[in-house]
Structure 1
Amino acid sequence: MPGHDMSVDLKFFRERNYERMQCPTCNSWYWGIKGIHDRCGDTPCVEYSFIGAPKMPRKYGVGEMRERYLLFFERNGHTRVGRLPVIARWRDDVFLVNASIYDFQPHVTSGEVPPPANPLTISQPCIRLTDLDSVGRSGRHLSNFEMMAHHAFNRPNEKDGMIYWKEECARYCHDLLVKDLGVPEKEIVYKENPWMGGGNAGMALEVMVAGLELATLVFMDLWADPKGPVELGGDRYGPMPLSVVDTGYGLERFVWVSQGTPTIYDAIYPGTLRRFFELAGVEPPDRGAHPEVFAESARLAGMMSVSTTSKLLEQRKGLAARLSEKGIKLGLDELMALMVPVENVFTIADHARCVLLMLADGIVPSNVKAGYLARLIIRKALRLMDELGMETPLADLVLLHKSTTADILRLGESEEVLRTMLDLEAKRYRETVEKGGRMVRRLLQEQGAGGRGISVEKLIELYDSHGIHPAMVQAVAAREGIAVEVPDAFTALVASRHAGEKREAGKAVELPPGLNASETVYYSEPGCREFECRVVLVRTDEKGREQVILDRTAFYPEGGGQHSDRGWLEAGGKRVKVIGVQKSDRTILHTLEGPLGAARGQVVKGVVDWRRRMALSRHHTATHIIIGSARKVLGPHVWQAGAEKSETGAHVDISHYDKVTLEQVHEIEKVANEIVAANLPVEYASLPREEAERRYGMSLYQGGAPAGPVIRVVRVGDFDSEACGGTHTRTSGEAGLIKITRAERIQDGVVRLEYSASVAALATIQRLERQLLESASELSVQPDQLPRTVRRFFEEWKGLKKEVAALRERAARELSGRLRAGAERVAGYALVAAAEEIDAELARQVSATLSSEPATVCLVGSAVSGGLMLSFGKDVKADIGEAARAIAGAVGGSGGGKGRFAQIGGVPPEKVAEAVGKAAGVLRRLLGG
C-alpha cells in the first residue's frame, strides 16, 4: 500500500538508466542520467537552454498543444472532462482555481464523491497571484495559465481499486514528452520535492526540461493527522483513504519550450501582443535596437527570484555585464529605460487576459472576496497604462484577448456587460487617483512628520480601504521630502491576504456523544403540521432556557438564511411555545419559552405554527424566483452573496457592478411575477453531487456549497435550480405576488434587493399606499398631483435656501468688519475675541472670514448654540491644536483642531461671554503679549 511510502525509486527510471543523485548546488535529490545531468535541472542550479534552441522538433500554438496533450491521454485510456470556472463556487475556503486538482477538492479527493471519470484528463484555466510582481519582469511568470492534467483516484484498500500509481504516471509523462512531442530524453530530469497543500501531501516529481519546470507529478496519499507517521514541513500526516495522481502540466510553458522565444509572452499570443505594443507606442523587443537583451534577461531571470528590488537590481547589473561581454555596452539607466516599458506592456497584456477570464466566468469587481482580486489586477493594469501614457480604454485591451481565449470562453451577450463593468472600473480608478493625493498629504502631515514615513501595514490599509496604490504614496511623499519604502512584491502580498475565506468557527453546542440523528419530518412529510415524537435529551442553554432534542421533528431549524419554525410542544396537559430551532451536527435542538417538564423517553406532541411556516416558505421560493429574474434582467454575472428570509419579508444580496435602476427593479419584478403567474412546479430531488453538477452546472451553488456527497436540489420548473435545504411552496404560484421594496448598493459590487411575497407583499403595498395618501393630504393635493407639488415645493425651498445663505454671508461680512475694527494688537497680531448672539454656523463663518486676513487670531463664541470657534491666519506660527486644548482647560470644556481651525465645545450659551474673556487671556499668553 502506498499510504506512507514516500519513495520514488521506480522501475521506470532504471529501465532508462536514470539514477538518483544529489545536486551539488542545492542538495536536492533528482533522477537523471549520469554524465549528462550533473545538476537537478532546475533554476538557479542550471540556466535555460531552450531560448533560441527549441526542444521540440516543431513549434506549437496554445490550441494545438492543448489538443495534442488531451488526445494523447485519451488514446491512453483517459476520459476528457470539461473545464470549470476560474471562480471556485463549489468551495468555501478559496476564491480562485489555482490548479486542476481544485476542481475535485474537497469532495472527490476525500472519497465522498466519485470523480466524473477515472482516470481523466483536463485542461483547466487557473489564476495564481502568488508571483504577481514578477509577471512581465521574469519572462516566464503569468497570472493566468492553463494547467493540463491527468488524474487517477485510487482506492488501494479495495479490490480493483487501483487505477494507476507512480510507475504508470511517470511513464505517461515521459512518453508524452519523448515519443509524442519529440523532446530529447537527455533534456529531461525528474527532481524530488515533497508536496503539501490544503491539508494533503505526498511525494512529487518536478519534471525539468532545459532548465524549465514543465510539469509536476504529485502522488497525493497523505492528509493532516497530528499522530501520523510522516512529518513534512513541520506538520504530521497520515495515510488517506484515496491515493490520488495529481499532475499539472503548464500548457504555456510547453508552447514556450517548443518555440524557444525570448519570453513566454512572445510564444503564447504573438499577434495579440504585437497589437498591445502598437497601442502602447512601445517598440517590440524584436524590432528594437537590442533584441538580444530580452533573451539574455529571461535566461538570467530564471536564475533568481525577481520579486524584490535588490534581486531585480542584481539581475539588471548581471544582465548589463553579460551584454558587455557580447559587445553591447549599456549602462544601468539605459538598460532600465529600454526594458521597463516593454515589461509593462508584457504585464498589461497578461493582466488583460486574466481580467477577461475572471469577468467572463462571473466575477464582479468589488472590495470583497474574488471581486477584490479582480479589482487588484484591473487597477494594476490601469496604473501601468498611465505610466506608458496609453489612452486606449481598458475594455478594448481586455477584449483583444477574445481571440486567445476563443477555445475556452463564449462571451456572447455578456461582452457588453463586461465592457460596461470595465468602463466603470476605469472611472472609479480615476476618481480614486484624484482624491488619493489629498488623502495621502493629510496622512503624511499626521504620520510622516520628522521623516518617519508610512509603514507597510498602513500602505496595505490605504490600498484595501481606499484603493490608493503605494506608487501614489511614494510620489506624494517624495514631493514632501519623505521617503516611503514599498515592498517590491506589494501586489502579491496584498493578493495573498485575500486568497480565501477566513471563517471563524461558531460556538459549538456541547452535547453527549452517541446521540442519533434527528429524523427530519419537514423533509419526508413537508405538509406535516402536527406530529408525535419522543424526547431524547433535555438541557439548559447559556441563557437558562430549556432545550429539548426529539427523535423526530417537523420543526425546520434556522439555516440557509431562513428563520426557524416556531410552534408548540405539548406533554402531560401542558403546552409550551417553541421559540427557536437550531441544528447542531445531526441533531436538532428546540428552544422553549418555559419548562415543558417532559422526561427523557416521554412521548410529546409537536405543533408547527403553520401560518409562519407558509410565510417563510413563500419568501424562500420568492428568493429563488428573484435570483433567477435578476440573472435574466441584469446578466449571468449576478450571483447570490447572502440572503435572509423572515416571516414579514426577505432580502437577497447579489453581485452587480452598478446600482440597480428603478427600471431594472420593475423589470425584475415583472419577470418574477410572470413566473408566479405561470404556477411552475417546485420540485425537490436528492442527487449525488456529481450528477447534480452534471445536470445543473455551477449555478447550482447560488446559495453556497453544501457539504456531503448528496445534494438536495430545488427546481422552480426550468426557470431556476439551486442546491437548497430550505422549505418551499409546492408551486411558484403559491408564493403569491412578489413586491420589491428597495434596491440598495450595500457595498461596492453588492446590491441588496428587499422584497415581500403574498400577504406580506399586500401589507407592503397597503403601507406604501397609506404613506402616499397621507403625504398628499399634508399638501392638500390629490395623489396624482403629488410629484408635481413636491417638485414645486423643492424648487421654492432651494430658492429660499439660497436667499438665506446670501443673508448669512452678508451678516458674516458686516459682523466681521465690526469685530475687525475693534481688534486688539498683541505682539504684532490682530486678536479678535467676541461673544455674539449668533448660532454656531454663523460663528464659524465669521471666524473663517476674519482669519483670512494676515496676522489675525480670531475667537468667536456663539451665545445661541454654545461653544467657541478659533481660527488662525496663515502666517500665525502658534499651534492651533495646542491653543484649543489650553483654552478648553481654562474654560472647562473640550477642544481640538488642526491646520487653521479649531473648536472648543462643552461651553453652554449662558457661559460663552465669560469663556471668551478667559480664552482671550490664554491667547495673549500664547502669542507672547
Structure 2
Amino acid sequence: RHLTFFEMMAHHAFNIGEMIYWNNETVEFSFNLLTKVYKIPEEELIYKEGMWRGGGNAGEDFEVLVRGLEVATLVFMHYKTVDNKNIPMKNKIVDTGYGLERIFWLMTGTPTIYDAIFKEEIYWLTKNFSIISPNRELFNLYFRKMSVENDAISVEKRVSNILGLDQNYVRRMLSLYEAIYTVLDHSRTLIFMLGDGIVPSNAGAGYLARLLIRRSLRYLQKISPDIELVDVVDRIYSSIQNFFPEYKEKMNIILEIIEFEKKKYLSMIKQSYNVIEKIMRDYQKKNLKVFSIEELRKIYESRGIPPEIVRKIGEKFNINVIIPRDFYSKLAEVHDRGESKIFKAGESMTELLKEKGKIPETQKLYYLYPYKSMFRARVLKVIDDKKIILDKTLFYPEGGGQPSDKGFLLHNSEKYNVIDVKKIGNIIVHICDRPGLNVGDEVEGHIDMELRRRLMQAHTATHIILGAAKRVLGYHIWQAGAQKGVERSRLDITHFRNISDEEREKIELISNRIVMENRKVNIYYMSRNDAERKYGFELYQGGVVPERVLRIVEIEGWDAEACGGLHVSRTGEIGLIKIVHIKRIQDGVERIFFKVGSSAIKYVFSLENEIRKSLNLLQTSENLYEGIQKIIKENKELREKLKKVESELMKKWALELLRNSLKVNSLKIICRVLPEFSSLEKLIEFSKIIMKLDKDVVSCLFIPMKSNIRYVIMIGSGVNRRKINALKINDIIIREIGGRGGRKDIFAQGEIFGKRSEKLEDLCNKIYSYVMKIYEA
C-alpha cells in the first residue's frame, strides 16, 4: 500500500475572522464524496478521531478508513504548540488530504496498489521480457493475509498449504514481483525528483535520488538483465505525460542523469570486491562470524557499496551479513532530517533588541533609490555604543550572498565609518568603527558607491549566469549557493557531472550576449500565489522567502527570481563577465568562480600579460599552445634519451658490483652502501637490474638519507629461497642495528632510524656470514 511518490487531493478552509466551514461540514463533504461519487457503501466507512501535530500547530483529526485502508485524513488546526502545550489560535484551518492512488486502488480491487497504478507497465514487462505473469489467486490470498500479519515466512507457508503450491515457487513469485513493484514505484518517483531539479549526490534530497536509482538497478538484475532502467522510466512517463506535460522537455536530461548514475554505480561495484574482501579477512582474523550493521551502514555511506553485495562476498568467508528490512528507509530518514548548521547572523542581537524594547521598522531607502549615495536620518537606538539603528537608511545589509554596503555617518563634522550592516527582522543595524552617536542625533549617511555599483553588477551577473547554465546544461540546474564580491564572485549549481570546457565557454558566451543586449532589469512586488502561478517554484533559487508579498527581480525574457538583493537597472551596466574557474565542491554541486566589470577586464589584461611573458620566455612569436607543445615534445625526447643513458650506466655499474661480489661457488653476495642514489625507487630499479643480469645472487643495498638509512633486499631466482630469504636478512638488520621493514621472501625494504652509517660495514659482514653459513649447510 506504500509508495515513494503519491498525489494528495485536498480542500482547505482558512477561517480567519469569518467562518467559512469547520468540522461538521468537512466530514459531510468527505462522506458525500466517498459514498455518492465513489459509490462506497456507507457502512464500510470508519471515521477514527485523533490528534494531529506538525509544524508547530495542532488540532483534532479524523482518519477515514475503508476496510482498514486509510484513504483520507481530515485535520482541524486551531492550536499552536509551545513547549508541548496547545494554545488556542484565532485562526481555524481545515486541512484535508485524500490519497488519489489509494482511492484508485480501492476502486479497482487489485491485490496491491502497484497492480492498480502500474497495470500497463506490468503487462509490458511480462510481454516483452519473458516474465511470468502474476498468479492472481496467490497474490489475492497472500496480500490479504499480510495486511493483518507481519511474519512473511509463516504467511508464505500457510498460503502454500491452502493453495497446494510449492513454497519455493511461492517465494520466487513473490520475490520477482517485489522487485517489479519496487522498480516501477522508484522509476515513477525519479521522474518527479529529477524533473524538479534534484541531482543525485551523497547528501540531502540528492542522496535519496541516488538511493532510488541504485536500488532500482539492483532489483532490475533480479527481474531480467535485458531491461534498462531508462526504458522503464520512459515507459512510465509515456503513461502519465498527458497529466504532466511540463516534464516532457525534461525527459532527455532525466534519462541522461539516470544513465550517468548507472555507469558510475557499475564502476563502483567493480572496485568494491577488493575492499569488502579485505574487511572480511580482518573479520576472520578476529574470529568474528556476524557482520556489524553499523559497519554495513558506513560502507554504504562512504563507498556506496550496497549491503546485498557485502552479504554475497560474506558467504565466501562464512561471515553472516544480516540486512535489516528497514535498512534503506532508516538511511533515508537520517538524510531527510539532516539539521541545518547554517549560522543565522545576528541571533544574539535579536535577543538584545527584545530586551531593549520595541523598535519601529527601518525605512529601506536602498530599494527606492539604489543609485543614490547620500541620505539624512535620525538615530533611534544605540546598542553597545557602536551598533546604530536609524529611522531610515540607504545602507544595504548583508544578505542573500551579497556583502553589506560600507561608508560613513556624519554628525557635527564627526565621521563614523560604517564597517558592517545587519538586518534583524525589519530593523537595520549599522555597525560603526567607534562610539559617539546618541539617540536623537541627526546624521548624514554616505554610501561607498563604487563598492555598491560593483556588488550590484555581480548580483545581476549571478542571475544571468544561472539562466545561461540552465540553457546549456539543462533545466535540472538549481542554485545551491552564491557569494557576490568586488574582485571575485561565485555561484554554486547542482549538476550531475563536471562541467566541460566546451560547456563553460558556452555559458560565458551566452552570459555576455545577455549583457550586450542591454536587457532591462525589472523589480516589482507580487503576492506569493500570483508569483508562483506565473513563474513556478524556480523563483526560489536563493531559498524559499517566508513572505506573503515577494520582491521579484526579472531580467526581461531571461530570468525571474524572488530576490532581496540590489541590481543594476540594465544588463549593459555589468560590462564583461569572465568565468575564471569551475570546480566540483561536493558530489552533485559545481562552483563557478567569475569576475565582472573592471575586475574581469583586469583579469583578461593579466592573462594577456602572462601570455606575452611566456612567449618571450619561449623566445617565439608563434602560438603559445604550439610553443609549449614543442617544448613538451623536446623535453619528452630528452627524458627518453636520458633514461637510456641512465639504464646503460646502471647496467655497467651492476656488472661491476657482480664482479666484485663475495662468491661462494655460483652464489654471489652483494652488501653495499650506495650514497650515489637519492631515492628508494631508483635503488629498487637498480636491484632489479642486478637480478636480471644474474639469477644466483643475494643483494642488500643501503642508501643514506637526511634523517635515516633506507635499504632494499632482493633474492635471485636461482637461489634456494626456502633457506635464504629476504625476510630473514631483514630480521638481522632490525636485530643488529634497529629499524623497521618487511615485504616478501624474495624482496624486502625498510629503514634504519637515524644516521648510523658507521655500523653498516659490520652489519654487512654479519649478513655475509649468515648467507654463507646457510648456503654451505
Q: Give the TM-score band, short-chain normalised.
A: 0.7 to 0.9
CA contact (8 A) 2:382 2:388 kept: yes
Structure 2 residue 401 is matched with structure 1 residue 561: yes
CA RMSD, Structure 1 to Structure 2 (Å): 4.0
Match of 1:627 among 454, 466, 472: 466
The residue that corresponds to 1:656 in the other structure is 495
The residue that corresponds to 2:579 in the other structure is 740
Higher share of residues assigned helix:
2
The residue that corresponds to 1:144 in the other structure is 5
CA contact (8 A) 1:621 1:728 kept: yes
The residue that corresponds to 1:705 in the other structure is 544
Match of 1:300 among 137, 145, 170: 145
Partner Cα separation in structure 1 for residue 97 and residue 658 of structure 2? 80
The residue that corresponds to 2:99 in the other structure is 250
CA contact (8 A) 2:142 2:159 kept: no
Structure 2 residue 213 is matched with structure 1 residue 378: yes
CA contact (8 A) 1:859 1:870 kept: yes
User: How far off is 1:271 after superposition?
Assistant: 1.5
Given the superposition, is the C-alpha separation of residues 913 and 815 from structure 1 closer, same or farther in structure 2, using an over 3 Å criterion?
farther
Structure 2 residue 327 is matched with structure 1 residue 490: yes
Match of 1:584 among 424, 431, 439: 424
- Matched residue SS, 2:102: helix
Residues 87-106 of structure 1 aligned to structure 2 (within 5 Å): none
- Matched residue SS, 2:212: helix
Structure 2 residue 19 is matched with structure 1 residue 171: no
The residue that corresponds to 2:626 in the other structure is 788
Given the superposition, is the C-alpha separation of residues 518 and 845 from structure 1 closer, same or farther in structure 2, using an over 3 Å criterion?
farther
CA contact (8 A) 1:269 1:404 kept: no
The residue that corresponds to 1:676 in the other structure is 515
- Matched residue SS, 2:77: strand
Structure 2 residue 414 is matched with structure 1 residue 574: yes
Residues 750-769 of structure 1 aligned to structure 2 (within 5 Å): 750-769=589-608
Give the aligned residue type for 1:517: E
Give the aligned residue type for 1:316: I
Partner Cα separation in structure 1 for residue 511 and residue 374 of structure 2? 33
User: How far off is 1:530 after superposition?
Assistant: 1.8
The residue that corresponds to 2:362 in the other structure is 518
CA contact (8 A) 1:812 1:845 kept: no
Given the superposition, is the C-alpha separation of residues 590 and 336 from structure 1 closer, same or farther in structure 2, using an over 3 Å criterion?
same
The residue that corresponds to 2:159 in the other structure is 322
User: How far off is 1:872 after superposition?
Assistant: 9.9
Partner Cα separation in structure 2 for residue 820 and residue 584 of structure 1? 85
Partner Cα separation in structure 2 for residue 384 and residue 898 of structure 1? 43
The residue that corresponds to 2:14 in the other structure is 153
CA contact (8 A) 1:861 1:912 kept: no
User: How far off is 1:617 after superposition?
Assistant: 0.5
Partner Cα separation in structure 2 for residue 601 and residue 330 of structure 1? 91
Partner Cα separation in structure 2 for residue 916 and residue 444 of structure 1? 45
The residue that corresponds to 2:391 in the other structure is 551
Given the superposition, is the C-alpha separation of residues 396 and 869 from structure 1 closer, same or farther in structure 2, using an over 3 Å criterion?
farther
The residue that corresponds to 2:525 in the other structure is 686
The residue that corresponds to 2:718 in the other structure is none
Give the aligned residue type for 2:276: V
Given the superposition, is the C-alpha separation of residues 354 and 276 from structure 1 closer, same or farther in structure 2, using an over 3 Å criterion?
farther
Between 583-592 and 735-744, report the one with greater CA deviation: 583-592
Structure 2 residue 371 is matched with structure 1 residue 527: yes
Partner Cα separation in structure 2 for residue 662 and residue 628 of structure 1? 18
Partner Cα separation in structure 1 for residue 712 and residue 28 of structure 2? 83
CA contact (8 A) 1:859 1:916 kept: no
How many residues end up aligned between the 2 structures? 746
Give the aligned residue type for 2:9: M
Partner Cα separation in structure 1 for residue 323 and residue 743 of structure 2? 28
Partner Cα separation in structure 2 for residue 765 and residue 342 of structure 1? 61
- Matched residue SS, 2:10: strand
CA contact (8 A) 1:218 1:246 kept: yes
Structure 2 residue 568 is matched with structure 1 residue 729: yes
- Matched residue SS, 2:522: strand
Partner Cα separation in structure 2 for residue 916 and residue 317 of structure 1? 77
User: How far off is 1:393 after superposition?
Assistant: 2.7
**CA deviation vs aligned residue, 1:553-587 (integer Å, no higher than 9, x gap):** 22212111112212223334333433222223333
Partner Cα separation in structure 2 for residue 538 and residue 654 of structure 1? 40
Given the superposition, is the C-alpha separation of residues 602 and 914 from structure 1 closer, same or farther in structure 2, using an over 3 Å criterion?
farther
Match of 2:308 among 455, 471, 479: 471
The residue that corresponds to 1:101 in the other structure is none
Given the superposition, is the C-alpha separation of residues 444 and 682 from structure 1 closer, same or farther in structure 2, using an over 3 Å criterion?
same
Given the superposition, is the C-alpha separation of residues 292 and 871 from structure 1 closer, same or farther in structure 2, using an over 3 Å criterion?
farther
The residue that corresponds to 1:863 in the other structure is 704
Between 198-207 and 273-282, report the one with greater CA deviation: 273-282
User: How far off is 1:877 after superposition?
Assistant: 15
Given the superposition, is the C-alpha separation of residues 319 and 392 from structure 1 closer, same or farther in structure 2, using an over 3 Å criterion?
closer
User: How far off is 1:709 after superposition?
Assistant: 2.0
Structure 2 unpaired stretches of 5+: 716-720
User: How far off is 1:921 after superposition?
Assistant: 9.4
The residue that corresponds to 2:123 in the other structure is 274
The residue that corresponds to 1:259 in the other structure is 108
**CA deviation vs aligned residue, 1:411-431 (integer Å, no higher than 9, x gap):** 333222222212211110111
Work out which of the two has the higher radius of gyration on C-alpha atoms and give 1 or 2.
Answer: 2
Structure 2 residue 193 is matched with structure 1 residue 336: no
The residue that corresponds to 1:91 in the other structure is none
Partner Cα separation in structure 2 for residue 905 and residue 556 of structure 1? 63
Given the superposition, is the C-alpha separation of residues 675 and 329 from structure 1 closer, same or farther in structure 2, using an over 3 Å criterion?
closer
- Matched residue SS, 1:522: helix
Partner Cα separation in structure 1 for residue 430 and residue 605 of structure 2? 35
- Matched residue SS, 1:488: coil
Partner Cα separation in structure 2 for residue 378 and residue 877 of structure 1? 56
CA contact (8 A) 2:377 2:445 kept: yes
Partner Cα separation in structure 1 for residue 523 and residue 490 of structure 2? 23
Partner Cα separation in structure 1 for residue 253 and residue 72 of structure 2? 37
User: How far off is 1:397 after superposition?
Assistant: 1.6
User: How far off is 1:389 after superposition?
Assistant: 4.2
**CA deviation vs aligned residue, 1:318-359 (integer Å, no higher than 9, x gap):** 232233133x1423x443223212221221111111111212
Match of 1:201 among 41, 58, 67: 58
Given the superposition, is the C-alpha separation of residues 482 and 688 from structure 1 closer, same or farther in structure 2, using an over 3 Å criterion?
same
Given the superposition, is the C-alpha separation of residues 633 and 527 from structure 1 closer, same or farther in structure 2, using an over 3 Å criterion?
same
CA contact (8 A) 1:262 1:294 kept: yes
User: How far off is 1:597 after superposition?
Assistant: 2.5
Give the aligned residue type for 2:361: A
- Matched residue SS, 1:412: helix
CA contact (8 A) 2:699 2:713 kept: yes
- Matched residue SS, 1:285: coil
User: How far off is 1:802 after superposition?
Assistant: 5.3
User: How far off is 1:808 after superposition?
Assistant: 7.2
Between 453-462 and 621-630, report the one with greater CA deviation: 453-462
**CA deviation vs aligned residue, 1:230-265 (integer Å, no higher than 9, x gap):** xxxxx4332344332222222222222222222222
The residue that corresponds to 2:198 in the other structure is 363
Give the aligned residue type for 1:623: T
Given the superposition, is the C-alpha separation of residues 813 and 604 from structure 1 closer, same or farther in structure 2, using an over 3 Å criterion?
farther
| Structure 1 length-normalised TM | 0.72
User: How far off is 1:285 after superposition?
Assistant: 0.9
**CA deviation vs aligned residue, 1:13-40 (integer Å, no higher than 9, x gap):** xxxxxxxxxxxxxxxxxxxxxxxxxxxx
CA contact (8 A) 2:741 2:751 kept: no
Give the aligned residue type for 1:620: H
Between 402-411 and 645-654, report the one with greater CA deviation: 402-411
**CA deviation vs aligned residue, 1:720-749 (integer Å, no higher than 9, x gap):** 111111111111111112122223233222
CA contact (8 A) 1:861 1:913 kept: no
Give the aligned residue type for 1:733: G
CA contact (8 A) 1:816 1:850 kept: yes
User: How far off is 1:177 after superposition?
Assistant: 1.6
